[in-house]
A and B are shown apart, each in its own frame.
Chain A
Amino acid sequence: MKDLLNRYGLLLTTVFAVLTGFWILVLVVLPNIYLFEHSFKPYLPVAELGGPKDVYSLDNYLTFFRSPIHISVFFWTVIYSAVVTFICFLIAYPLAYYLSKVSARALVPTIFLLLFVPLWVSEVLRSFAWFIILALKGPLNASLLGLGIIEDPVRWITGFRGVIIGLVYTYVLFMLFPLYNAIQSLDTNQIEAAEDLGAPWWRTHWRVILPHAKPGIASGSVMVFMLSAGSILVPTLLASTNSRWFTEIIQQWMFESQDWNTGSAYAFLLLILCTVFVSVVMRVFHVKLSDIAK
């Protein structure tokens, strides 16, 4: 703080502090406290607010556990978010390795630029684009048919397929960057040492590069998983009739039933249960929280 004062003077420092404080307090903390408080309250007509029925209870949370359908939706949301995370890893790892250890230094900024360009378009538009690409008579089927790879058009947007494709596309970069940083920090001599000692390429990856990249894999995975499980846009646009995402149920409570209290309870359940799931997975893979912060 003293450092800031010395560097920017009283006025600027105050402005920074107030703006940051406003952001954290008013835009993040207060709304969450509000929702958290309301998640324990019953949904009552205006006339009964503050009346004898307006007491705190766990009813909203129990609603979830009493509904097998909601539990199943939550279950599949977690499963498919994990699938998305894994696919993102499969795509990002070779790319991260290539960018950090194989490609010419001069090429890297160009490749990063190419990877970034799609991010300049809004997520809504990009998801819509996939909706078009994946349509039954869309360009993907047309090309595959044209190339003779498939004989009949594939119904891409069925089950969770469209959602998975959309989420992978949207969040793969969140896996790429931590992985890139992690692999980048590995001493290239170690890769060469492994090869010199006789290791084939896959064993060098398995024994030297992957273990070194573990913190990067962990932080990338946590980000992709949490973002996927919490995504509303992609499931809304690319889901089919037989795939529901847990966020859609929260949205239904909030906007269709107008029951913000139960919606809040579901939102916090999503947060808590996903955190528990991530913690368990981290424990299984021996990843410490401090690794992720690296």
Chain B
Amino acid sequence: MSAGVDLDSVSMDFGTFRAVDNVAVNIQPGEFFSFLGPSGCGKTTILRMISGFIDPTKGAVRIGGRDMKGQRPNQRPTALIFQNLALFPLMPVWENIAFGLEVRGVDKQKRRARAEELLHLVDLPDAADKAVAQLSGGQKQRVAIARALAVEPQVMLLDEPLSALDLKLRQHMRAELRAIQKRTGVTFIYITHDQGEALAMSDRVGVMSQGKLQQVANPRDIYNNPANGFVASFVGENNIFTGDVDGTEGNLARFATASGTFTARLGPAVTQGMKARLFLRPEHVRLAPAAAGANSIPVEVTDVAFEGNFISIHARDAGGQVLVAEARNDGATAVPAPGDRLHFIFDGQNAVILTGDTAARNIDE
């Protein structure tokens, strides 16, 4: 049983500060949807509006088609998993899980049975009588999921629940969460600032910045076809060139920059004569000893980092801009050395010209 969530042009003001600005998105029943954005972008506010702790200043939140205005969290078919999990430390594990059933008046035997069942589901079968404090981080995580699932929510809301775990466990829990979501068919709405999490788990991702939804798309499109400069720079690494659109040929455009004139795909809402930025992913850069016909930048290698599965090459072009290329390590790849003079070459189809601000975090810094 799951329900869709319809955010109908919702805004949320705190005093004069607009935390969420006219966000409209239709989340399908059974979908795994992530809101991705830097801290302070309004994603947690959206979650609190859906769960019912706050009502939007403008617009409506509909769950399963029903307007939720004025419905308290205990009246909504949602369950929220808090960032710090908020397990009840004074109750044993099974009472934590059965708390939602307890408040619904389910008798003790049934509660216990259901708690055991859910503990099996989250792969923690022997923990029923343990104290919360005895559990490890990953185990607490599972208990929190089981506790939320116990109330059979139609929508599950997750507020960066993996952020407290270490890397290995985080990657494991990603797969686990995804599996639980598929098994239960519940709509998952996931909040994160970690692009890896969002891309790996979600059916669709909504990228947010400063209260506004920048792009809603499936993970491939978010990464390959970002709608604007913010999305391109927030998700993944980029070489960024500032310049002007100089003319168009089909879906490609000529783009004049300080490092030379390149051809690249024209992003949405970019027209000739506009100031814009060209975004080039490091993995789309090829290294060559000699210049190619187009999209070729002579550089001098400054730094080479051998990362195992790939090699990261930092280089400086004639204008002094630092560029990054990433080469897959297939075992035979020649590793350049600092001081080498090479050419960075890319295919115009792999670079995109976009407008809009970039995220504060990019590789120039």
- Which positions in A face B, CB cutoff 8 Å? 187, 189-190, 192-200, 203, 207-208, 211-212
B269 on interface, CB distance cutoff 8 Å: no
CA of A208 to CA of B87 in the docked complex: distance in angstroms?
A: 10
Which residues of chain B from 57 to 90 have a CB within 8 Å of any chain A CB?
A: 72-74, 78-80, 82, 84, 86-88, 90
Most buried by B among A194, A196, A212: A196
Q: In the bound complex, do residue A208 and residue B88 qualify as a contact, i.e. CB atoms below 8 Å apart?
A: yes
Q: A187-B84, A207-B99 are in contact. Are A196 and B90 (CB under 8 A)?
A: no
5 closest A-B pairs by CB? A189-B86, A197-B100, A193-B86, A199-B103, A196-B73
CA of A192 to CA of B53 in the docked complex: distance in angstroms?
A: 8
Partner of A189, one of B52, B84, B99, B148: B84
B172 on interface, CB distance cutoff 8 Å: no
B204 on interface, CB distance cutoff 8 Å: no
B147 on interface, CB distance cutoff 8 Å: yes
Report the minimal beta-carbon distance from A140 to chain B, rounded to whole angstroms: 39
Chain B minimum-CB-distance residue to A189: B86
Complex interface: chain B residues within 8 A of A200 (CB): 74, 103
Q: In the bound complex, do residue A193 and residue B74 qualify as a contact, i.e. CB atoms below 8 Å apart?
A: no
Partner of B103, one of A190, A192, A198: A198
Complex interface: chain B residues within 8 A of A190 (CB): 86, 88
Q: In the bound complex, do residue A192 and residue B84 qualify as a contact, i.e. CB atoms below 8 Å apart?
A: no
CA of A208 to CA of B151 in the docked complex: distance in angstroms?
A: 18
- Which positions in B face A, CB cutoff 8 Å? 51-53, 72-74, 78-80, 82, 84, 86-88, 90-91, 99-100, 102-104, 147-148, 151
User: Between A and B, how many residue pairs show CB distances below 8 Å?
Assistant: 56
Complex interface: chain B residues within 8 A of A212 (CB): 90
Q: In the bound complex, do residue B151 and residue A197 qualify as a contact, i.e. CB atoms below 8 Å apart?
A: yes
CA of A194 to CA of B99 in the docked complex: distance in angstroms?
A: 8
A-B contact sample (20 more), CB < 8 A, given A196-B79, A207-B102:
A189-B82, A189-B84, A190-B86, A192-B73, A193-B88, A194-B99, A195-B74, A196-B51, A196-B78, A197-B74, A197-B100, A197-B103, A197-B147, A197-B148, A198-B74, A200-B74, A207-B88, A207-B99, A211-B90, A212-B90
Complex interface: chain A residues within 8 A of B147 (CB): 197
CA of A203 to CA of B103 in the docked complex: distance in angstroms?
A: 7
Complex interface: chain B residues within 8 A of A208 (CB): 88
CA of A109 to CA of B232 in the docked complex: distance in angstroms?
A: 48
CA of A199 to CA of B148 in the docked complex: distance in angstroms?
A: 13
Complex interface: chain A residues within 8 A of B151 (CB): 197-198
CA of A192 to CA of B91 in the docked complex: distance in angstroms?
A: 16
Q: A189-B84, A203-B103 are in contact. Are A195 and B90 (CB under 8 A)?
A: no
CA of A189 to CA of B161 in the docked complex: distance in angstroms?
A: 13
Report the minimal beta-carbon distance from B66 to chain A, rounded to whole angstroms: 17
Q: In the bound complex, do residue B104 and residue A196 qualify as a contact, i.e. CB atoms below 8 Å apart?
A: no
Complex interface: chain B residues within 8 A of A195 (CB): 72-74
Chain A minimum-CB-distance residue to B82: A189
CA of A195 to CA of B71 in the docked complex: distance in angstroms?
A: 12
Partner of A198, one of B82, B91, B104: B104
Q: A197-B147, A207-B99 are in contact. Are A192 and B86 (CB under 8 A)?
A: yes
Complex interface: chain B residues within 8 A of A187 (CB): 84, 86
Q: In the bound complex, do residue A196 and residue B74 qualify as a contact, i.e. CB atoms below 8 Å apart?
A: yes
Complex interface: chain B residues within 8 A of A194 (CB): 88, 99, 103
Chain B minimum-CB-distance residue to A192: B53
CA of A196 to CA of B148 in the docked complex: distance in angstroms?
A: 9
Complex interface: chain A residues within 8 A of B86 (CB): 187, 189-190, 192-193
Q: In the bound complex, do residue B74 and residue A199 qualify as a contact, i.e. CB atoms below 8 Å apart?
A: yes
Chain A minimum-CB-distance residue to B98: A197
CA of A262 to CA of B100 in the docked complex: distance in angstroms?
A: 59
13 contacts between A and B (CB under 8 A): A187-B86, A189-B82, A190-B86, A193-B80, A193-B87, A193-B88, A194-B103, A196-B78, A197-B151, A199-B103, A207-B88, A207-B102, A208-B88
Complex interface: chain A residues within 8 A of B87 (CB): 193
Chain A minimum-CB-distance residue to B90: A211
Report the minimal beta-carbon distance from B42 to chain A, rounded to whole angstroms: 19
Complex interface: chain A residues within 8 A of B72 (CB): 195
Complex interface: chain A residues within 8 A of B90 (CB): 211-212
Q: In the bound complex, do residue B103 and residue A193 qualify as a contact, i.e. CB atoms below 8 Å apart?
A: no
Report the minimal beta-carbon distance from B295 to chain A, rounded to whole angstroms: 51
Complex interface: chain A residues within 8 A of B53 (CB): 192
Report the minimal beta-carbon distance from B76 to chain A, rounded to whole angstroms: 8
Chain B minimum-CB-distance residue to A199: B103
Q: In the bound complex, do residue A193 and residue B82 qualify as a contact, i.e. CB atoms below 8 Å apart?
A: yes
Q: In the bound complex, do residue B84 and residue A198 qualify as a contact, i.e. CB atoms below 8 Å apart?
A: no
Q: In the bound complex, do residue B84 and residue A197 qualify as a contact, i.e. CB atoms below 8 Å apart?
A: no
CA of A192 to CA of B74 in the docked complex: distance in angstroms?
A: 9
Most buried by A among B88, B91, B148: B88
Q: In the bound complex, do residue A197 and residue B82 qualify as a contact, i.e. CB atoms below 8 Å apart?
A: no
CA of A200 to CA of B80 in the docked complex: distance in angstroms?
A: 16
CA of A73 to CA of B62 in the docked complex: distance in angstroms?
A: 65
CA of A196 to CA of B100 in the docked complex: distance in angstroms?
A: 9
